[in-house]
Structure 1
Amino acid sequence: MADTTQELDFEFQSRFEEDEETIKEKLLESGSLEDYRKEPGDYVYDVVVPQAPMIQQQQANMDEVLRNAFTLYAEDEYLDMKVIEADLERTPAQPAQGVLIVGASAGVIIPAGHELSCTVIDEDGNPITATVNEEVPFNEAGALSIDITTEGTGDIMNVPPGSSWFFSPPIAGVESITQPGRLIGGADREDDESLRNKWKAKKHKPVRSGNKHHYVTWALEVPGVGAAKTVPLWAGRNTVKVIIADTEGQPATPQLVTNVQMYIDPSQDGMGEGVAPVGAIVTVESVANLAINIAAGITLIAGSTLEEAAAAFRIDLDAYLDTLAAQVMDSNRKEPIVIVYNKLTGLLSMNPHVEDYTNFTVNSGTANITLLANEVPSSGTITLT
């Protein structure tokens, strides 16, 4: 069975709305008015013509009702209603989660729920804040990891590694806070395009009972999953691995992985306790994040700053890496996915704040990077000097 998804990508055609001039002419040509003068300034003209804009709006409303009757064209809450028919739902905005390393003296207790602030700001210009998930006592001086969850939601909450954090209010005895890895799981409210694509994937791929497309469909039915792919027979007969990403194409949180595992195959013993058929032993895992760390010496264009150059480069780098992340989740792709060194140098050479650069390295090297089957790249540290 062919994939008909692309065949359905055509624009909605208006069925009712006419332009105002056409409506006006039809009104004036009505048989009931044929015995009356209808020139501009005549009574009939002045009474009838103002109705044209109102009729046009009614026609536009009828088109809108028709549009929202079909999943292919419906928008916003009407699309939500349509995809429910396919057992799908829109993923709401999600907070980010991650780990910080805290250095403190003996006797310090980091209480659950204590707030931290970050030097990274959100869309409104406010510092990103997070809370501690569980209490962490320091029985002796040293460094311990703490799990945090951001208070805000959205992709911007996926704070890059190396960002600065501080407790609010401060905790006596805390000596350092470092962020070793990128926060994950933060996602904007799923947009119409992403939700519609999930519907297309479910309705128009050759899904059969227990084939590889079916596992993708089951994964996408769990709120929070934005993409999925399968690895059949990954550990021998009757085994299936399902690799998932969140709605931003980034690594899924442990809780999301658990939710998908419990839905598809909670017992992992082939007994068919989930939606997977009897005999299938399913393992669900998240894509792994590969941080792409960039370093280079640069010559700035007059009037520019290092911060401006780094911010502009991160935007371009994220856009490039996002295209590669989408390719990672294609179950049918056989060719390796490569981060091309020269494309990254090209991004820096096109930076509007950079005159020239030297010693450009990617993860401390100058070679292309080939991604593993379960790796998605994301921007890590950007060091421009």
Structure 2
Amino acid sequence: MQNFSDATYKNILDYMLSLVPDTYDKRDTSPIQTSLGPAAYVLEGFYLSLDLVQKQAFVQTASGDSLDLLAVLAGITRKQASAAVKVGIFDCEVPIGARFSTINGTESINFVVISTITEGSTYRLQAETAGDIGNRYSGPVLPIDSIEGLNSAQLTDLLIPGENTEEDEPFRARIIERLNSRSFGGNVAQYVEEIEAIDGVGAVQVYPVWDGGGTVCCSILGADFLPASSDLVQMVQNAIDPPPGQGLGLGLAPIGAQVTVTAPKTVPVDISATLTLASGHELETVQQPAQDAVSDYLLQIRKNWDVNISSTAIAYSAEVYLARVLAALISLDGVVNVSALTLNGIAADMALQQTGALQQVPVLGKVELHGT
């Protein structure tokens, strides 16, 4: 790739003036300098445009629509925003298609009843606004249309996380990964490709022959990078290898492959630490930032939970490192030192299990901070 960063107005003008013999007046405001200046200005704009066109021609540097156009080389498209599905609990029967509104101010959105979970009381509601905005609200909702006998309406559990339109960087990473790996005939790459393309799925681990020949275990996280709900697991199961006739090739899995879709188990990570605080800082003001910092670290672990760490086999890893937790705490404003740090009561790293029979992901448990 050609580097155009030096093609500035000044450099271009200096070069043009260097081609003029020194016997002529080339000082500022001279006729030669004055006549060459506009041309140098126009050429700078030309090189800026040329640099942009060049960057938009390569997957590694393209953005926006240009990256969408290049994605055809990998045979994939950008993931579009999808709507969240949540559990609604009511004190009377509500009709399919009934609409409700949340009461969270500027983020208020509408949900519509799409199916029944328990007749007369529990339903699935889908957000009318696509994106992760539908994941965030839980609590009372108001009916948009009058429903006779309704006195209580609540949104509770998240069944299928909503996703925002895929941003450039994760989309670029998928394109490059797809170009560097070949999915074919039911190999691991194809399972990953097909399952991650399903709305609501954030990550997947694939375990071939986990329970004998022809068996495949696919463990999934939702788009929120928490274990998938039973609804999402069932949706993926039906798409890949629907029961009861598993192995018949009625889904995306090839004939003969008996696929079990599941979700990992959560392992709460309890944190205990003694903090030395700078003058003027109180333990109470550090509590929430500490929880947020450790929670962000655990989220990064879950985001990398589906990375195969072996080049010759299938192996996954999710370890909570004591030093990384310490680093998250000591980086907080007002924290001078961290001591007596333990994870689930032990001053050691935590290695979570990743096998076809059991997959685990870390989530934040109790955070107990002590001051000195």
TM-score, length basis structure 1:
0.69
* 1:317 is the counterpart of 2:294: yes
Change (3 A) 1:114 1:326: closer
48, 58, 62: which is aligned to 1:74?
62
**Are the aligned partners of 1:296 and 1:361 in contact in 2 as well (CA < 8 Å)?**
yes
After the TM superposition, which of the residue ranges 54-63 and 275-284 deviates more from structure 2? 275-284
Matches within 5 A, 1:1-385: 14-15=3-4, 18-30=7-19, 37-101=25-89, 104=91, 108-111=92-95, 112-118=98-104, 126-134=106-114, 144-155=121-132, 157-159=134-136, 165-168=139-142, 174=151, 177=154, 179=156, 181=157, 184-205=160-181, 207=183, 209-222=185-198, 225-252=201-228, 264-265=240-241, 269-272=246-249, 276-285=253-262, 287-288=263-264, 290=266, 292=268, 311-332=288-309, 334=315, 337-339=318-320, 352=333, 366=345, 371-373=352-354, 374-379=359-364
Structure 1 pair 175/253, CA: closer, same or farther in 2 (3 Å)?
Answer: closer
Query: Matches of 2:160 and 2:287 in 1, distance apart?
Result: 21
Evaluate the alpha carbon distance shift between residue 36 and residue 297 of structure 1 in structure 2; reply closer, same or farther with a 3 A threshold.
closer
Deviation at 1:166, TM superposition (A): 1.6
String of CA shifts for 1:144-170, please: whole Å, max 9, x gaps: 4443334544445433xxx76122259
Structure 2 match to 1:5: none
1:101/1:145 contact within 8 Å kept = yes
- Structure 2: which amino acid aligns with 1:131? F
Question: How far did 1:209 drift?
Answer: 4.0
User: Is the CA contact (8 Å cut-off) linking 2:159 and 2:232 kept in structure 1?
Assistant: no
Gaps of 5+ in 2: none
Instruction: Letter of the 1:113 partner, please give it.
Output: R
CA RMSD in angstroms comes to 4.8
d(CA) in 2 for partners of 1:79 and 1:158? 28
CA distance in 1, matches of 2:140, 2:367: 22
- C-alpha change, 1:207 and 1:47, in structure 2 (3 Å) is same
Once the two structures are superposed, residues 83-111 of structure 1 have per-residue CA deviations (whole angstroms, 9 ceiling, x without a partner) of 12212111123333333555x4xxx3345
Secondary structure of 1:237's counterpart equals coil
Q: Decide which moves more: 72-81 or 236-245.
A: 236-245
Supply the distance in 2 between the matched residues of 1:341 and 1:145 (Cα, whole angstroms): 42
Question: What per-residue deviation string (whole Å, max 9, x for no partner) do you get for residues 37-89 of structure 1?
Answer: 43321222112113323212211211221221121221121111111221211
CA shift digits 1:165-222 (9 cap, x unpaired):
122259866468484x556513332222211221222221365543323322343455
The range that moved more, 131-140 or 308-317, is: 131-140
The answer on whether the counterparts of 1:157 and 1:183 sit within 8 Å (CA) in structure 2 is: no
Q: Choose 328-337 or 170-179, whichever is displaced more.
A: 170-179
Quote the Cα distance in structure 2 between the aligned partners of 1:232 and 1:294: 33
The 8 Å contact of residues 17 and 56 in structure 1, kept in 2 or not, is answered as no
Shift of 1:260: 5.3
Asked if structure 1 preserves the Cα contact closer than 8 Å seen for 2:241 and 2:259, the reply is yes
TM-score normalized by structure 2? 0.70
The 10-residue stretch of structure 1 (321-330 or 206-215) with the greater mean CA deviation from structure 2? 206-215
* CA distance in 2 between partners of 1:314 and 1:261 (Å): 35
C-alpha distance in 2 between matches for 1:204 and 1:214: 13
Give SS of 1:321's match.
helix
In the alignment, residue 165 of structure 1 is paired with which amino acid? G
Change over 3 Å in CA distance of 1:89–1:18 after alignment to 2: same
Distance 2:180 2:4 in 1: 26
Distance 1:169 1:61 in 2: 53
Residues 97 and 148 of structure 1 are in contact (CA less than 8 Å); yes or no, is this contact kept in structure 2?
A: yes
The one-letter code matched in structure 2 to 1:76 is G
Count of paired positions? 352
Contact kept, 8 Å, 1:17 with 1:60, in 2: the verdict is: no
**Separation in structure 1 between the aligned mates of residue 119 and residue 316 of structure 2, nearest angstrom:** 51
CA–CA distance in structure 1, aligned partners of residues 216 and 80 of structure 2: 28
Residues 116 and 124 in structure 2, CA contact (< 8 A), matched pair in contact too: no
Q: Deviations over 1:114-149 (max 9, x none)?
A: 22335xxxxxx7245452524779989xxx444333
- Structure 1 residues 208, 254: closer, same or farther in 2, change over 3 A? same
Residues of 2 paired with 1:250 and 1:13: CA distance?
43
The DSSP-based 3-state class of the residue aligned with 1:319 is helix
User: In percent, how many aligned pairs have the same letter?
Assistant: 24
Alignment partners' CA distance in 2, 1:265 and 1:139 = 28
Structure 2 distance, partners of 1:234, 1:78, is 41
Mean alpha-carbon deviation: is it higher for 89-98 or for 295-304?
Answer: 295-304
